[in-house]
Structure 1
Amino acid sequence: MTTTSQTATRTINAPATEIFDLLSNPERHTEFDGSGFLRSAVKSQRITAVGDTFRMNMEGPHMGGEYQMDNHVSGFQPGILIAWKPAPAGTEPPGWEWLYELKSAGSDSTEVSLTYDWSKVTDKEILKLVSFPLITGSQMDDSLAALASAVNG
């Protein structure tokens, strides 16, 4: 059976509300990027609802250097869940999604699960361009470690 998603989990010593505050602010996403692709947010505003979109400047050899991605918010429950589906700027999402789930693990700690799901990618051109998973489990662990540092920093 082909794997089409991966999840990393970490307990972070901070309340879910503080972690969610950071996750919902695209200006701070570079602080917890374990992929190394994110460069900066483009005139972004805080994420407030499903349907919001935020643009990021990125760079990576898989896209031939610098590029921009529009992230279409697909899940939003304050303090519980936030998710988005990336797409090359100006296009519709081709099928992969990033999902953060937050579960209280006590008054000052939260279990954070980060899921990278590419199960809905069907575009043959995208599949030629990108070898899924593009982000490794280790890079996802790095993202959660950086998220812990950012929220506690």
Structure 2
Amino acid sequence: MSTGTATEVMSVTRHVDAAPEAVFAVLADPGSHAAIDGTGWVREPLDEGAITGAGQVFGMGMFHRNHPDGDYRMHNRVEVFDPPRTLAWQPGQYGPDGEIGFGGWTWRYDLEPDGDGTRVTLTYDWSAVPAFLREHISFPPFDEEHLTRSLDNLARLT
């Protein structure tokens, strides 16, 4: 396992004993995201079906004790869909105008063949979070251990 943190980007890399296609299939299934998540914030998918392409939006039920409502929803726009190599999305929320507003952070999984398995790098990038949002949310909202737990959970699922 290797880790790395730049100023506004955090990443962790781990070997997973499964082919890239199998790992990507788990990541492309929002139904598996709660089991992968290392914080316990991710709950259930709000939409049925797999992630199938860039531009797609998939919703997730969430919970965080510090969120004003406790339970809330995130709607993630897929930014990169390149099976079985890369999957990335940008979380957002619908506003009162019915439009999705994005917070400026992204989740990205990069997969590379690695012997009999896959080298998986999970990256959390908050470099595009605007100043007004940083006044209300401390970034990153978790430590690097969250990413490590997420990759450990992914390895167990595949």
In the superposition, the TM-score normalised over structure 1's length comes to 0.92
Distance in 1 separating the partners of 2:49 and 2:135: 33
Report SS of the residue matched to 1:141. Answer: helix
Q: Runs ≥4 in structure 1, deviation > 3 angstroms?
A: none
Partner of 1:54: 58
Aligned twin of 1:140: 147
SS at match of 1:49: coil
2:3 match: none
Q: What CA distance in whole angstroms lies between the structure 2 residues aligned with 1:147 and 1:118?
A: 22
Cα deviation per residue 1:92-128 (whole Å; 9 max; x = unaligned)? 212100000001002x21000000000001150x212
Instruction: Give the count of matched residue pairs.
Output: 148
CA distance in 1, matches of 2:155, 2:88: 18
Alignment of 1:2-151 (within 5 A): 3-64=7-68, 65-90=70-95, 91-106=100-115, 108-124=116-132, 126-151=133-158
Query: What fraction of aligned residue pairs are identical, expressed as a percent?
Result: 35
Distance 2:149 2:120 in 1: 13
Higher mean alpha-carbon deviation, 140-149 vs 126-135, is at 126-135
Structural RMSD (CA): 1.3
Per-residue displacement from partner, 1:9-48 (whole Å, max 9, x unpaired)?
Answer: 1000000000000000101111111021011111232111
TM-score normalised by L of structure 2: 0.89
Higher fraction of helix: 1
Cα distance in 2 for partners of 1:43, 1:83 equals 18
- Which 5+ residue runs of structure 2 have no aligned equivalent? 1-5
